[in-house]
Amino acid sequence: MKKTCIVTGGSSGIGLSIVQLFTNKGYQVFNLDLQPSNLEILRGADISCDISNVEQVQNIISNIAKTATIDVLVSNAGIHFSGNIENTSAADLDKVLSINVKGAYAAIKAVLPDMKANKNGAIILMASDQALIAKQNSFAYNISKVALASIAKTTALDYASFNIRANAVCPGTIETPLYHQAINNYCQRSGANKAEVHAEEAALQPLGRLGQPEEVAELVYFLASDKAKFITGSLQVIDGGYTAQ
């Protein structure tokens, strides 16, 4: 019988690489995203979902649990927002926290009954190097990623007795559509040259390059596997050495 993995925000970037890897490894994967992934391998398991809508998330995951045992949740859905506290409106803050934090809350809360009943489960949250350090013009986004790290730790402690593990992955600068969108937005505001900004970002990493979504997916898969069955409540950094500086 196939194991089941639910991924939120799996239609592009890191999420898409996670969906592809878990599917290739033999998992039945459900992708909860407002945008379809257009992956033939999902065969109808793309589910349109507003991850910030707690009731909608609960209903979708409850329906999945009726026909499958939920083994893994990858809470990956998130948005980026640039701005310091003065440039962040209350609406901006609400939107970032609603998707990045409340979305994780909704998905985790929805999978826990099934995982508790089976006394088994792996929950992986997509945090960021900003769960560990601060960056300029990242007020709301930084808050959300610190919150995800906290959720991983508290969930790990609260559900360890059910053999449910929770960990957060903390990527540094990964070359995804989200990254390119952020660079484009910066260049539009500042008039900077995108190629130069891209090269500067790569040079900031001790390993001299940006990370790739597939590399993050491999770490997520490891954390979901039995090889990581003694790892819980951890923050797993994958940032090319950036936060070690």
Residue 6 near residue 61, CB atoms below 8 Å: yes
Helix H or strand E encompassing 32: strand 28-32
Phi and psi torsions of 24, nearest 5°: -65, -25
Burial category of 103 from C-beta neighbours within 10 Å (exposed 0-12, middle 13-18, buried 19 and up):
buried
Sign of CA dihedral 70, 73, 79, 85: positive
- Record the tokens describing residue 178, joined without a space: 């989200």
Sign of CA dihedral 235, 238, 242, 245: positive
Beta bridge partners of 238: 171
Residue 42 near residue 140, CB atoms below 8 Å: no
Residue 7 near residue 31, CB atoms below 8 Å: yes
Is 105 an annotated catalytic residue? no
CA angle, residues 95, 101, 103, in degrees to nearest 5: 85
- Choose the catalytic residue: 141, 159, 179, 242: 141
Q: 3-class DSSP state for residue 46?
A: strand
Write out the catalytic residue numbers. 141
